Amino acid sequence: MNAPAFNRRQFTAGFGALVVAFSLDSKLALGQERLPGSLQNNRRLDGWIRINADGTATVFTGKVELGQGILTTLKQIVAEELDLPLGRIRLISGDTGQTPDEGQTAGSQSVENSGTALRLAGAEVRAILLDLAAKRLGVSAEQLAVADGVIAAPDGRQMSYGDLVTDLELNREASAKVAPKPPAKYKIVGKSVARSDIPAKVTGGMSFVQDIRLPGTLHGRVVRPPRYGSTLDGVDEGAVRAMPGIVTVVRDGSFLGVIAEREEQAIKAREALRKSAKWTLGPELPDPARLFDVLKSLPSKDATIGVKQGSVPADARRFEAVYTKPYMSHASIGPSCAVAEFKDGKVTVWTHSQGVFPLRAELAKTLKLPPAAIRCVHIEGSGCYGHNGADDVAADAALLARAVPGRPVRLQWMRDDEFGWEPYGPAMMMRAKAALGSDGKIADWEYEVWSNSHSTRPQSTNGTNVLAAWYLAEPQKMGPPTSPPQPAGGGDRNAIPLYEFPSQRVIHHFVQDMPIRVSALRTLGAYANVFALESFMDELAAAAGGDPVAFRLAHMKDPRARAVIEAVAKKAAWKEGEKGDGTRGRGIGFAKYKNLACYVAVVAEVEVDRGNGTVRVPRTWAAVDSGLIINPDGLINQIEGGIVQSVSWTLKEEVRFDPGGILTRDWASYPILTMPESPAVEIELINRPGERPLGAGEGSQGPAVAAVANAFAHATGKRIRDLPLHPERVKAALG
């Protein structure tokens, strides 16, 4: 093999062998001074950084690599503050046996939380090292120079970080009082450092949890019911046990799985179990034709947010529009996978979960084990884009492995497991109303959004939040779903306009009952809210006889928002008042993600085939302000990936179901954007070294959907308010 082989020894030390000194309980922090970022709940310096005798540093983060390049970015931040070359930093991420608990890697918050902690911890550790060196060298710390982990006195005497470890005591609370470097002195931050994981990924190296190959590994598969809430009445276990290579069939209530010596044997046994299983079916799903009526009819918790009281002129013209977004799948290319091994009453789970500590808490409930007996170790999986099957498959693998102590069980879901059982991004409905004054400006704005929860992740509610637990002989239940509060919000994320309207109200109807399983999909509610809000802005601009760019600027004071709108208009050579020609057009969309992260404006060009109803997006442009830029190419990769993914969501994606169950089971029933269909993307970055870095992993999806929807309306003169813009809908709109 070309790449470093998976080394079991590196994972065997995690149960108590290391003394992990940071606080795992946020309650312990009560009464203490608030520390920035993730230092708040993980206050010990050596929980983040240790200096080794060979002059290298071992750095710990609770955040995990999801394909977004975060580990490279975090390494840059800590290398910069420590004055160490990137090559001398070993980063350990997401391991309940070794790293800080930073919850979920989600919401574009890794740079803000883990990055802040590592920046401050790095600056402090460097200062401690300098103090030690100053004492040894008999000079003041201010006289010392540092480069690449070597400290030099004015007289030329030198000392490496490794020389100081015998006196170095980092088992102490971070003060967060040492000022990090000013951006003007950055040598590593701000550079497009190449991702360290890519060489293995292009040569067949060990890169993914799917690639873990422990000695004696068995292969598991699970059999899920025909639809949610079904109970297993019977199954012919004996016939399956007699099949070649079958080690055992595992049944616990309605949870059903199989373990085999070989993977293909497990797959055949799964099929045999599926055919012989008899189920009492759970409740029917809603009729998709009435979905939004059903959602609106369910009880909701209503919150009024973003209120501005202003007088509305009596002669203002009133407008109203309703927009919808369907259920969407994470649709990871690789189905979720985990490896689990029980040994001496303890279990280790290798997982691509976005949060190893929250997962451990759910496994403790599911397996009825103390958390200390469970170790969850993050290894990358296929990109997840939110809460997909990662946590569920980890629970499945642990339940199977419990039946064969001493043997690791590798379980990868089949394609239909992933599409049929992952928690989808929720369907949403948005109703916007506005009044337009005689001055051509918006005088009043009223907006309502109906949505299920956007997070049923592990530990997001009480109860147990992994799929298998709900089907055990002693079933455990999920607690009532919750919604993250404003300003970040869940279904109401980005529901409050950033524009200056004299009078406005936003109402979030949070619908707790979930007829279809849902959770976090990249951007939560922001994709749908920005689609609705920015589509309505264009509708109002047209009613006011204004150009979309000029109309937005006329309602926008925030200078950073104005800057990205103006920059993308310039980059795309936007022509004020340009008309669509029936098949081709352009549109713009803007958002400040979560109203507190990066600013992104996108212009999209569409081509509409009026005969077959196909919409193409050949080109897009974007302007981005995410504050201080850590890694420009990494930022571009995230923003352009977000645009392409959003174009896919917008043109094609919709989970299919009927009352009998989920119909989306494969790529034929859930097509996504293909290589010939993907748009060109040109991006302009606005670097602001004086501003803090802002999360960007989810910044472009909202602006992109709005740009495409507005471009369609610009091209054809017809507005589509229901996603996706698939051919039947386009043909219906064009009559």
Binding site for other proteins (CB under 8 A): 1-3, 66-69, 194-195, 197-208, 210-211, 213, 219, 244, 262-264, 267, 331-335, 380-383, 385, 412, 414-415, 633, 637-638, 640-645, 648, 666-668, 672-676, 678, 680-681
Measured from the CB atom, the residue of 329 and 483 that comes closer to other proteins is 329
Q: How far is the CB of 636 from other proteins (least distance, A)?
A: 9
Element (H, E) at 75: helix 70-82
Which residue, 691, 523, 696, 499, is CA-closest to 600? 696
Indicate the DSSP class of residue 174. -
Neighbours of 3 (CB within 10 A): 16
CA 106 to CA 110: how far, in whole Å? 7
Measured from the CB atom, the residue of 39 and 400 that comes closer to other proteins is 400
Q: How far is the CB of 368 from other proteins (least distance, A)?
A: 32
CA 115 to CA 547: how far, in whole Å? 40
Q: How far is the CB of 678 from other proteins (least distance, A)?
A: 4
Q: How far is the CB of 400 from other proteins (least distance, A)?
A: 17
Q: How far is the CB of 219 from other proteins (least distance, A)?
A: 8
- Ordered alpha helix ranges (H), 446-517: none
Q: How far is the CB of 420 from other proteins (least distance, A)?
A: 13
Residue type, 571: K
Measured from the CB atom, the residue of 524 and 673 that comes closer to other proteins is 673
Contact 718, 542 (CB under 8 A): no
Complete DSSP assignment for 674-686: -GGGPPEEEEEE-
Measured from the CB atom, the residue of 644 and 694 that comes closer to other proteins is 644
Neighbours of 722 (CB within 10 A): 16
CA 477 to CA 53: how far, in whole Å? 50
Strand, helix or coil for residue 621 = strand
Measured from the CB atom, the residue of 80 and 417 that comes closer to other proteins is 417
Measured from the CB atom, the residue of 307 and 680 that comes closer to other proteins is 680
CA 600 to CA 589: how far, in whole Å? 8
41: left (phi over 0), alpha (psi -120 to 50) or beta: alpha
Which residue, 567, 565, 598, 555, is CA-closest to 691? 598
CA 530 to CA 705: how far, in whole Å? 8
Q: How far is the CB of 331 from other proteins (least distance, A)?
A: 6
Residue type, 160: S
Contact 514, 378 (CB under 8 A): no
Q: How far is the CB of 106 from other proteins (least distance, A)?
A: 15
Q: How far is the CB of 607 from other proteins (least distance, A)?
A: 15
Contact 441, 316 (CB under 8 A): no
CA 377 to CA 361: how far, in whole Å? 13
Measured from the CB atom, the residue of 308 and 619 that comes closer to other proteins is 619
Q: How far is CA 543 from CA 405, 497, 540, 618, in A?
A: 69, 19, 5, 28
Residue 423, judged by CB atoms within 10 A of its CB (0-12, 13-18, 19+), counts as: buried
Which residue, 447, 465, 566, 596, is CA-closest to 518? 465
Q: How far is the CB of 332 from other proteins (least distance, A)?
A: 6
Q: How far is the CB of 560 from other proteins (least distance, A)?
A: 25
Measured from the CB atom, the residue of 170 and 331 that comes closer to other proteins is 331
CA 406 to CA 402: how far, in whole Å? 9
Measured from the CB atom, the residue of 385 and 536 that comes closer to other proteins is 385
Measured from the CB atom, the residue of 170 and 644 that comes closer to other proteins is 644
CA 45 to CA 732: how far, in whole Å? 61
Q: How far is the CB of 202 from other proteins (least distance, A)?
A: 5
CA 534 to CA 546: how far, in whole Å? 14
CA 58 to CA 77: how far, in whole Å? 14
Measured from the CB atom, the residue of 215 and 545 that comes closer to other proteins is 215
Measured from the CB atom, the residue of 237 and 380 that comes closer to other proteins is 380
Measured from the CB atom, the residue of 141 and 200 that comes closer to other proteins is 200
Q: How far is the CB of 412 from other proteins (least distance, A)?
A: 6
Q: How far is the CB of 171 from other proteins (least distance, A)?
A: 36
Which residue, 689, 661, 567, 673, is CA-closest to 616? 673
CA 579 to CA 715: how far, in whole Å? 8
Measured from the CB atom, the residue of 343 and 415 that comes closer to other proteins is 415
Contact 260, 266 (CB under 8 A): yes
